[in-house]
Structure 1
Amino acid sequence: MQVIFKTLILNNFKSHRDITVNFGERTDITGDNAEGKSTVCEAPSYVLYGTDALGSKLDPTPITYEAEETKVSLLLEVDGKELMLGRSLKKNKTTYYVNDVPSKAGEFNEVVERLFDKDLFLSLYNPSYFPSMHWEKQRSMLLQYVTSPINKDVLEHMPDEQNKCLSALIKKHRLEDIKKIHAENKTTLDKKYIAAQSRTKTLKEQLDQLPNVGAPIESLKTELSQIDKQVREKESLLDKAWEKNQAYNSLQAKIRNLQEQVEMSKERWPLLKNERIENSCRTCNRPLDEETVKVVESDKENRIKEYRANHERLRKERDDLKDQLEEMEFVDATELRNEIRELDPKGTPLREAIRIHGQFERLQEQVSQAEVDEKATLESLNESIFILDSVKAFKAKEAELQGEKVQALFETLSVRLFEEQKNSEMKNTFEIELDKKPYRKLSTAEGIRAGLELRDVLSQQSELITPVFVDNAESITSFKQPVGQLIVSRVVAGQKLNIEGVDAE
């Protein structure tokens, strides 16, 4: 789109009561200070936005005289079609005009917004406007016309290992998500690695504190096995001796019991032997008949026979057991017990040595596993660190490539889009430089040249051509002809306001 200023009509606008400006391809505005040169150049931005050329609030009312109404009209040509826009202020009420037809503010603003973005227009119209914006707004405006390098292009400019690493990860996650994942991993693994190192160190210290056993464990086990075998053999003999002595003592107890029964039997014999046969009943003293007496005598004889048989049986059982006892042996196990008491403690140091051997082996296994865990944790930690470094390198390379694309738009200016932090992170910034000097430190002439080059880049990238206003042109001897209509304001001492529009031949 190409926008051309055709005619500007000022009525009671600041210092100008009634003035009409016919713009040419180049329009020179000359005159001494306070002749209203800048006021003429502020009028188009006032018509469009109610501001001055820097986008600040503007009071359009007369300065040295009074008037009921202030009115400014601007005839534009937009891609060959004319458009008249106007704005008037009367009693603090603003009236808008589109092609001389009064319009509501919303309708008027909609017409202007359809033409172009406010910041873009003011940046193209006034070379000082763009640098006056916040750096983030400047950066955003310039980059909207410069596409960021695609991931594939950035990766191709990176070392093979980082390229291979990020290529696989970017297929699953966004770069920022990769950074978040591995930043969290790094924090977790840092702590885990410290804990793994501490565990390995502790286990090694425990291993070093174990006493030196010296003899191989197989030798110790063989020696202990022999001692245990001897002890088991002697314990087996002791068990057998105990069984024999138990049988011996049991038999003795049976003999003593039978002997007591025999003695008791002997004591009963005189009573039975000397028992008298009475001729009368013991209860009622009535005489017994002969037959009854015989029965009583027969009963006594039977009891004597029974006694003798029982007494003889007891004696025989006793004597048989005595014969058995004589054939048995009572084993004295005292010496055997003493041998076991002497032999068993010999295995104690061997068992302790074997226990220490076992503890040593377990600790060795734990140390080995701890070292494996420590190594695996370190590998995971290093992997996350490598990925984070790769993300930083990616962003740095992306910034470099994007900077190159932006820089390629300019001939003399340098534009810095990023700055590297102490942690190697790339932080967004925006700085316009000329000969390595930032814009804010440029002279007036250098600032004009820088501003014109910047606005020409914006014009080319946005494909919008507008008039451009160069103020204080007396401070610069020459500058490159910008794209679009040129309006030059120059101070000429002692001269009244003069406006000349010149078209190309």
Structure 2
Amino acid sequence: MQIKFKSLKLESFKSHQDLEVSFGEVTKITGDNAKGKTSVLEAISWLLYGTDATGSKLDPTPITCDSSQSLVSLLFSVDGRDMLIGRGLEKGKAKYYINEVPSKATEFNEILEQMFDKDLFLSLFNPNYFFTMKWTEQREMLLQYIPAPANKEVFKALPEVQASKLAELVKEKSLEDLDKIHRSNKTKLEKQYIAAQSKTKTLKEQLDENAPTVPLESLNAEDSQIVKQIKELEKATESANDKNRKFNELQSQIHSLNDQIEMSKERWPRLRDEEIEDTCKTCKRPLDEESVQVVKDDKDKRIDEYKSQHKELVNKRNELREELNSLEYIDVSEQQEKIRELENKRYPILQEVSKHKHIGSLQEQVDKAAATEKETLDSLNESIFIIDSIKAFYAKEAELQAEKVQALFETLSINLFKEQKNGEIKPDFEIEMDGKGYKKLSLSESIRAGLELREVLSEQSEVIAPVFVDNAESITKFKEPIGQLIISRVVAGKELEVTADE
């Protein structure tokens, strides 16, 4: 797109009561201070956007004449197509004109927006305008024409191990999502790793505290010898125990028979002295001889039965006594005491053997905890590696993009990124000339910086617009810009003069 100014007309605008300017390829505006040179610049920006050339508010009220109306008209062409627009202010009310036809503000603004972007046009028209924008807006404007390098281009510049890892991961997720995921993983895994370290340490301490002092083979050998001695003693006492068991059983039976015999003896006097009744116990009637004889026979029978049973008990006891007298009680208390001593000796050995069994289980827990700790550390290192790789990617991407941008400039240095204390790369924007930021540049330096920047913007946007260089007397020479050039210079003692050179 090529924009060319043809003529500008000012009516009651600031210090100009009636001024008409015809533009050529180079238009020179000269005159002493306060003669209205800058007002020509401001008139164009006010006409288009209602502001001064830096985007600030502007009061067009005339200061050299008494008028209630201000009007600015501009005839210009866009790619060879002419258009005449005007903006006026009458009694505080804005007026708009398109090709001399009164228009609404919305229609006026829409036409301008369709033709060119406001910030871009003002940056091309006024070399100082770009630097009045916020750094984020400056950065966005410049980078919209210089896209970030493609992933493949950045991967190629990264170390192979980082590039191959990221190239595989970005097939499924974006770098931004990967960064969020692995930063979250890192926070979680750091806590898990600390817990895993603590668990492994605790289990190792338990392992050290419970570690047996005697080898298992030695313990088993010693225990086997003790068990062998116990079995020999138990075998030697087994036969004696069988005999003693018989002896004790006979003694017990004899005691039981003695008790039965004593009880039998106690029954005898009652049976012996039992009287023969000659009367019925129930009805008290006298019994006949036959009935009395039956009673006598019953008593005799019971006496015989008693004697027989008593004799049987005595005989049985005597038999058992004879059998008991034939037996000998064997004392095994000494052997039993030895067995107890051996069992007491065996107890600490079994405890040590138990330690060996427990230590095996504890060792398994230690190995498992150590494996978990290693696995957690590996996962943590993996996330850290990916985070660092992404960080390296962004740094390299920033470096490559900065190189692309910097290649467009001859004297200016463009800082697009800033490294944080944690090593992360954050977007930034600063323009320097000879190591100095724009705000520290002199007037001539700032003009040259603005001209170089607008040339880059013009080339990248492919928009050719007029440029107004105010205070041109402060610079001795500069590279001729693309598009129409309007130069304003202070000439002491001279009235305002405008000359156009084709």
TM norm structure 1: 0.90
Q: 1:74 aligned to 2:60?
A: no
**Which residue does the alignment assign to 1:318?**
317
More off after superposition, 382-391 vs 9-18: 382-391
1:2 partner amino acid: Q
**Which residue does the alignment assign to 1:3?**
3
1:82 partner amino acid: D
- Deviations along 1:168-194, one digit per CA (max 9) or x if unpaired, are 111122112211222222222223333
1:380 partner amino acid: S
In 2, Cα distance between equivalents of 1:57 and 1:356: 90
**Which residue does the alignment assign to 1:408?**
407
Cα drift, residue 142 of structure 1: 0.5
More off after superposition, 435-444 vs 256-265: 256-265
1:191 partner amino acid: K
- Deviations along 1:364-385, one digit per CA (max 9) or x if unpaired, are 4444333333332222222222
Cα root mean square deviation, aligned: 2.9
1:122 partner amino acid: L
- Deviations along 1:335-385, one digit per CA (max 9) or x if unpaired, are 232222222111123123323434444444444333333332222222222
Specify every segment of 5 or more residues in structure 1 that has no aligned partner in the other structure, as ranges. none
SS in 2 for 1:499: strand
SS in 2 for 1:482: coil
More off after superposition, 402-411 vs 325-334: 325-334
More off after superposition, 360-369 vs 121-130: 360-369
- Deviations along 1:246-270, one digit per CA (max 9) or x if unpaired, are 5433433333443455566667778
**Which residue does the alignment assign to 1:380?**
379
Cα drift, residue 318 of structure 1: 2.6
In 1, Cα distance between equivalents of 2:416 and 2:285: 151
**Which residue does the alignment assign to 1:370?**
369
In 2, Cα distance between equivalents of 1:344 and 1:387: 64
In 2, Cα distance between equivalents of 1:13 and 1:269: 160
In 1, Cα distance between equivalents of 2:18 and 2:273: 181
SS in 2 for 1:460: helix
Cα drift, residue 236 of structure 1: 6.7
The verdict on how the C-alpha distance between 1:310 and 1:200 changes in structure 2, with shifts beyond 3 A counting, is: closer
In 1, Cα distance between equivalents of 2:244 and 2:163: 91
In 1, Cα distance between equivalents of 2:494 and 2:35: 9
2:374 partner amino acid: K
In 2, Cα distance between equivalents of 1:210 and 1:301: 84
The verdict on how the C-alpha distance between 1:309 and 1:374 changes in structure 2, with shifts beyond 3 A counting, is: closer
Q: 1:189 aligned to 2:214?
A: no
2:57 partner amino acid: K
Percent sequence identity over matched residues?
Answer: 57
**Which residue does the alignment assign to 2:139?**
139
The verdict on how the C-alpha distance between 1:63 and 1:245 changes in structure 2, with shifts beyond 3 A counting, is: same
Instruction: Indicate conservation of the 8 Å contact 2:212/2:356, yes or no.
Output: no
**Which residue does the alignment assign to 2:129?**
129
SS in 1 for 2:339: helix
SS in 2 for 1:57: coil
In 1, Cα distance between equivalents of 2:377 and 2:270: 107
- Deviations along 1:142-183, one digit per CA (max 9) or x if unpaired, are 011111111111111111000111111111221122112222
In 2, Cα distance between equivalents of 1:312 and 1:161: 111
SS in 2 for 1:172: coil
In 1, Cα distance between equivalents of 2:272 and 2:292: 17
Q: What aligned pairs does 1:86-125 form with structure 2 within 5 A after superposition?
A: 86-125=86-125
More off after superposition, 228-237 vs 57-66: 228-237
- Deviations along 1:77-121, one digit per CA (max 9) or x if unpaired, are 111111111011111111111111111111111111111111111
Cα drift, residue 487 of structure 1: 0.6
**Which residue does the alignment assign to 1:220?**
219
- Deviations along 1:458-503, one digit per CA (max 9) or x if unpaired, are 1121121111101111111111111111111111111111101111
Cα drift, residue 221 of structure 1: 1.7
TM norm structure 2: 0.90
In 1, Cα distance between equivalents of 2:432 and 2:252: 124
2:60 partner amino acid: P
**Which residue does the alignment assign to 1:85?**
85
1:183 partner amino acid: R
More off after superposition, 155-164 vs 416-425: 416-425
More off after superposition, 50-59 vs 173-182: 173-182
**Which residue does the alignment assign to 1:393?**
392
Specify every segment of 5 or more residues in structure 2 that has no aligned partner in the other structure, as ranges. none
More off after superposition, 193-202 vs 90-99: 193-202
In 1, Cα distance between equivalents of 2:4 and 2:156: 45
Instruction: Indicate conservation of the 8 Å contact 2:219/2:352, yes or no.
Output: yes
